[in-house]
Structure 1
Amino acid sequence: MLAGLLVVAPARADDPPACEVPAYLLTSESTLPRVAAAVKPGGKLNILVIGSRSSVIGVADSSIAYPGRLQAILREKLPTVEVNVSLELQVKKTAEEVAPSLGKLVADKKPDLVIWQTGTVDAMRSVDADDFRGAIDDGVAAMRSAGTDVILMNLQYSPRTETMISPSAYIDNMRVVAQQHDVPLFDRFAIMRNWNETGDFDLFSASPGVELAKRVHDCLARALSTFVIDAAHVNPAELRIQR
């Protein structure tokens, strides 16, 4: 079922998807102060993505999965900043299984920002929604105490799996925790649903293909780069000076 989430087809085979995202899905009232402090000419921005199999699914080369593309795009947008994005895979683990290790992980790797992608495995296993919320709450609290900014990223959208899993409780609880801790929530579910509804991607298609998966990863990375920059209140134009 996970494989089906990133096996997509564009609306038109001869054109790459526009994958535009409504502005309201790429803005957040919560901020990223550590990212803002790091993003200065000559500065260094370290981002840690804590993800599941969907972080790399559909592509054999990690550089074209969305964490790798996020690094490339942020380096392009912030040319005077050294940007490094690393990936910590937590395959087939629920939020409750991942949360206890997050504080130590942050303390060891010392990222300026953690992007915690979670919820799919919990939805697939029908984990109790209150237990899920508690795990997310504990994980975010531990990471922030360890000294990092946090972005929560929710589930992928796929009309093919909506009859098999019910994501709404997990999406709602992630939003609640994000608001309680004043951390941004990257609404991947709503963004991908918008692409499906506008015809940028046909997410119901079962047609496989590396090129198609690459486009989805690239679109997610581009949306995420905009989200990070906006939440940090960074003006990339101010950083476009010669090294």
Structure 2
Amino acid sequence: MSSLRPFCLTLRLVAPAAAVLLLLTPASHAQTQAAQAQTNAAQATPAPAQSSDPVPASPSQTTVAARSPEQRGVTSRAIDKVKEVAKSAADIFSRVPCLPPKGGTKAMGSLPHVAGKLVAGKPVVIVAFGSSSTAGFGATSPEFNYPNRLAAQLRRQYPTADITVVNAGVGGEDAPEMMKRLQREVIDVHPDLVIWQVGTNAVLRNLDPGETAKLVEEGIGRIQAAGDADIVLVDPQYSPAVNQRAESAGRMVKLLGKVAELRHVGIFPRFEVMREWHEKQAIPVEGFVIADGLHMNDWGYACFAQLLGDDIIRSVGQIKLGVNVPADVRTYRPM
């Protein structure tokens, strides 16, 4: 496993807890049901074709608000919201469950810094850095993008924790553009965990995977030099548009894995995870990818967030048990 460091992104960490919670979760049970109906429709009927390179959007942020003893009223309302979000998460898996892959062993670095902060009850800041699949293109609602789903899962697991998840995804970008905003949108935020999704648009744009890997390694070095944070790389998605460039995609996946190993950071093998959905769990591609053949749908984002959140929670559990893997040692586990 590995220690990981942060990326840059401007965010407002101070916001009224109640207002933030309304941004995070459905406003009512009726809205939750409506959003789920929309989700089911999107999965049952192919969505209109959408651009593989959507217009860049401004980064948004999701804040899991702090709950102090002086804010018991807010805490009570927060718990109600957590229950609503939990129901929406359960609903989306009611027809097709989200199962952990069983095909071989995958590398996922340990997260000693963020886990230690959660165990100690200290505030935690997570930056989700990436392109359109981080921004949530293809989701039927902002609450169904993966950073929001991840925030909701961590909040259910640690209801008294002060956790902030910042969505720093900008559609159409890859490593060259991301490096330009690395300082401002990641490093300057002083995150405890950076989840860097990268490589898909480089494949689609026929960029050299080797050059992308060099930029990512440089970016990781900058994050690690700037502070004490964990880093997890997320490689390209398995989808028809990416698979049309199979050779380039394969090189990208391998090179990002090597960068993670060399820099002692974690990697979430999204490509292999999604391929297993299709090849071993017999889920049709349209069950997790929208009609553009590239971006995930609500189920895809939800399962991706669930598996990523499970890894974070597992790492925290290891810290609690005193299993603290040194930063320079990568460990492997069956997914």
Give the TM-score category using the shorter length: 0.7 to 0.9
Question: 1:114: which partner in 2?
Answer: 194
Q: TM-score, normalised by structure 1?
A: 0.81
Q: Is the 8 A contact 1:77 1:236 kept in 2?
A: no
Query: Is the CA contact 1:26–1:223 (under 8 Å) kept in the aligned structure 2?
Result: no
TM superposition shift of 1:164 = 4.2
Q: Higher mean Cα deviation, 162-171 or 97-106?
A: 97-106
Match of 1:52 in 2: 131
Q: Which residue of 2 aligns with 1:8?
A: none
Q: Which amino acid aligns with 1:146?
A: A
- 1:75 alignment partner in structure 2: 155
Does residue 230 (structure 1) correspond to residue 319 (structure 2)? The answer is: no
CA RMSD of aligned residues (A): 2.8
Correspondence for 1:101 among 181, 196, 200: 181
Q: Which letter maps to 1:143?
A: I
Structure 1 position 66, deviation (Å):
0.9
Q: After TM superposition, list the pairs within 5 Å mapping 1:175-186 onto structure 2.
A: 175-186=257-268
Instruction: Supply the distance in 1 between the matched residues of 2:250 and 2:106 (Cα, whole angstroms).
Output: 20
Which has the larger Rg?
2
- 2:279 is aligned with 1:197: yes
Task: Give the aligned length.
Answer: 225
* C-alpha distance in 1 between matches for 2:262 and 2:242: 29
Q: Which amino acid aligns with 2:274?
A: M
Alpha-carbon distance between aligned partners in 2 of 1:26 and 1:158, rounded to the nearest angstrom: 20
2:233 aligns to what SS in structure 1?
A: strand
Q: Hey, what does 1:158 align to over in structure 2?
A: 239
> Would the aligned equivalents of 1:155 and 1:171 in 2 still touch at CA under 8 Å?
yes
Q: What secondary structure does 1:19 align onto?
A: coil
- The Cα of 1:3 is off from its aligned counterpart by 5.9
Provide the TM-score with structure 2 as the length reference. Answer: 0.60
Distance 1:94 1:107 in 2: 17
Structure 2 CA distance for aligned equivalents of residues 99 and 80 of structure 1: 34
Q: Please give the per-residue CA displacement for 1:3-62, whole angstroms capped at 9, x wherever unaligned.
A: 68xxxxxxxxx952122123666663x322220221125322211001211220222422
Q: Relative to structure 1, is the Cα distance of residues 3 and 75 closer, same or farther in structure 2, using a 3 angstrom cutoff?
A: farther
- Structure 1, unaligned runs of 5 or more: 5-13, 238-243
Matched, 1:31 2:113: no
Q: Do residues 66 (structure 1) and 146 (structure 2) align?
A: yes
CA contact (8 A) 2:200 2:242 kept: no
Q: CA deviation at 1:162?
A: 1.2
> Mind listing any 5+ residue stretches in structure 2 that lack a counterpart?
1-48, 53-92, 322-335
Deviates more, 1:96-105 or 1:153-162: 96-105
Deviation at 1:215, TM superposition (A): 1.5
Please name the residue that 2:119 is paired with.
40
> 1:20 and 1:137, CA in 2 relative to 1: closer, same or farther beyond 3 A?
same
Partner of 2:4: none
Is the CA contact 1:158–1:204 (under 8 Å) kept in the aligned structure 2? no
Q: State the distance in 2 between where 1:150 and 1:200 align.
A: 31
- Once residues 166 and 306 of structure 2 are traced to their aligned partners in structure 1, the CA distance between those partners, rounded to angstroms, is 17
Matched residues, percent identical? 28
